[in-house]
Amino acid sequence: MNRIELQKSIDENVRLVFSRSGGNGGQNVNKLNTRVQAFISLEKLEGLSPEERDQITDKLKNNRNKEGELFVTVQEERTQERNRAIAIQRLLTSITGAALIQRKRKKTKPTKASKEKRLQSKKLHALVKQGRNSIKGFD
């Protein structure tokens, strides 16, 4: 997956919906459509392998609408332009984050020193616990 190619694809295929938002902005909240909802269809995105699409679909299933589009809602800033930029950036980061395929962890054996250290700490702990026992005849 090429991030630059994905960015271009998002910019070309994103569908933006604007509406009035609450929060900061004073009287402008009641007049201007500053809230941005960004929608994008995963089928229209270029540069993703089928495995990456399946993984994105699985990981971001809670951020999809009935049509299967991935969506983000932003209403943090007072201007529509800033909210639009944030929405597109969030789409990009969520898609790239969900598309990462985790590598399998290679199992390693503990070193001889780490085994000895573990056994030494177990012996020390046993000695501490043994010291807590009452001595017979002094009860």
Assign residue 46 the CATH number of its domain: 3.30.160.20
pLDDT of residue 117: 97
The answer to whether residue 127 sits within a structural domain is no
pLDDT of residue 137: 64
Average confidence (pLDDT) per 10 residues, the chain, 139 residues: 77 87 69 87 82 86 87 88 92 87 89 97 94 72
The answer to whether residue 116 sits within a structural domain is no
The answer to whether residue 105 sits within a structural domain is no
Residues with Cβ within 8 Å of 51's Cβ and at least 6 positions away in sequence, in order, are 101
Taking the model in full, what pTM does it have? 0.67
Beta bridge partners of 40: 70
pLDDT of residue 107: 93
Tell me which residue range forms the domain holding 32: 3-99
Residues with Cβ within 8 Å of 113's Cβ and at least 6 positions away in sequence, in order, are none
Phi-psi region of 98 (alpha: psi -120 to 50; beta: other; left: phi over 0): alpha
The answer to whether residue 131 sits within a structural domain is no
State how many domains the chain has.
1
The answer to whether residue 111 sits within a structural domain is no
pLDDT of residue 29: 67
The answer to whether residue 106 sits within a structural domain is no
